A and B are shown apart, each in its own frame.
Chain A
Amino acid sequence: MKARILFLAIVMLTFLLPGAVMAQQFFDYFGMTLLPDTVGDSLVMYAEVRDPAPATTPLPLDFDNYEYTMVITDLELVTDGFPEVYANGTIAIYEDNGTSADYAATGTFTDGTALLVGNVSMEIYHLSHVIPTNTTGNGTGTVDWIGGTNLNDFAPGDQVGWTFVVGTNSGSGLLEPGYDEVWDGKVEPVGVIVGTDRVTWDELKSWMK
């Protein structure tokens, strides 16, 4: 009987926890992209990560004292069409307080500490395939974090399967010289990531008594 009550209590806790931490979590970015000319070539993105308060970032970031940048490299165009399929890319989030991000000097995006490094793949729908005059598009994809100084801040199960989303625009008035598209989007875990507290089994049982 006691074991059954304990089991029920744990089940209840499991269902209650998500409701207590329903804050939205994501890395919001805004940046510039160079598109590949042909299948086999790669896409590159340089972006700034912005403070999304009252939503939070999956890692605690200090926007008052540091600049955060997101960079995608080697994202290969595998299939051209509607959608375009991209794979085998590398994504990284950097922290630095030395140089300001400057789209004319891409090294300013890759300096500092690589907090997270991962693999990225995605599909992009460019509306120009359907409406030739349209300059906008949309991409969705997946990120698996595999490195970086803060990788282990996430439990192993929380390191993979993140969502990458982006709105694209080649006709934006914000397009920097030399780039093909403006990208505005997010990288976010599928579920909210919570901090963990280690307790012994006895402690857990004592809470239920």
Chain B
Amino acid sequence: MTSETIQEDNVVTKLFMKTLVLAAFLVALFALPAFAQIHSVDYVGYGWDSGVPGKALGDEFHFVGIADYVDPVFGVDLGTEELTFHVFGLLVVSEVDLGGTLMVTYSGGYMEIYQDGAMNADWGINPPNLTAPGTFSDGSLFFSGEFTDMTLFHFPGGGGNFEGNLNGIAGTMIDGSCTGCVYTWGGTFSTDAGAQIPEGYSLQVDGVLEIDAAVSTDEASWGSVKALYNN
């Protein structure tokens, strides 16, 4: 075999490898939309403030609730076990009147979701009480997240809405930690809006948790992806 033939073989081999890597990249590219899906948990519950509801800086907002839908990908059967929410540590840091709409901004705060078969969630009245948040924070930790931001808007008439982002800290839902991977939003309603609210709670909360499905994937460097195809 001549040196020219060897060089030609090398060129062909390199071309083949580049084609293979390109093909692998394209396969990965087309596979991405599956990983870009959003999984959700739908929840309802009731909240209360440690101070005057939504009116004073430094007040802490609490919320206890239950999931009435969870994406099947998480493998939770709400017929035999419950997912319960406990939100705490959200402190009012600013309030701005936007022409009749009160914008309340919070700092800090955590959301914990527990999975248990006791099916014992009970809001009771005048929280905190014997069952709340206790029956909403028992079982195994499904998700623990730290709010990076949270804003609540109160409209005239008793309605409101909120949205916030979280970093995942722990729990079986994310199997580790993740950054900016969870977004929650929803409505809040007071008795002025006609909502039923147990005595001692200040707001009804109906929300959705949106989880970036990519949190369940493994991160890999481009080098390691290429290495997979070099073997």
Contacts and interface: CB of A to CB of B under 8 A. Distances in A.
Contact of B42 (A50, A127, A165): A50
Contact of A125 (B42, B119, B159, B196): B159
Bin the interface of chain B by size: 35 or more
B63 to A, nearest CB: 14
Nearest to B211: A173
B136 to A, nearest CB: 11
B165 interface: no
Interface stretch (A1-9, A108-116, A182-190): A182-190
A91 to B, nearest CB: 15
B223 to A, nearest CB: 31
Interface string A174-201: 1000000010111011111000000000
Nearest to A165: B189
Contacts of A83: 155, 157
Given A125-B155, A138-B159, A184-B42, A51 B208 contact: no
B158 A140 contact: yes
A137 interface: yes
Contacts, number: 129
B38 A54 contact: no
Contacts of A66: none
Contact of B207 (A26, A123, A163, A184): A184
Bin the interface of chain A by size: 35 or more
Given A22-B198, A50-B42, A166-B187, A184 B159 contact: no
A132 to B, nearest CB: 12
Nearest to A183: B187
Contacts of B66: 52-55
A7 to B, nearest CB: 27
Nearest to B46: A24
Given A130-B98, A138-B160, A140-B158, A185 B196 contact: no
Given A26-B196, A130-B98, A167 B155 contact: no
Interface string A148-187: 0000000000000001011111001110000000101110
Interface string A120-136: 00010101001100001
Contacts of A54: 66, 82, 119, 121-122
B210 A30 contact: no
Contacts of B198: 22, 24
24 contacts: A24-B123, A28-B206, A30-B69, A51-B68, A52-B68, A54-B122, A55-B66, A127-B161, A131-B98, A136-B185, A138-B161, A140-B157, A140-B158, A140-B159, A140-B194, A163-B196, A165-B204, A167-B188, A167-B206, A169-B185, A182-B208, A184-B42, A184-B207, A184-B208
Interface of B: 38, 40, 42, 44, 66, 68-69, 78-79, 82, 98-99, 101, 119, 121-123, 125, 153, 155, 157-161, 163, 183, 185-189, 193-196, 198, 204, 206-208, 210, 212
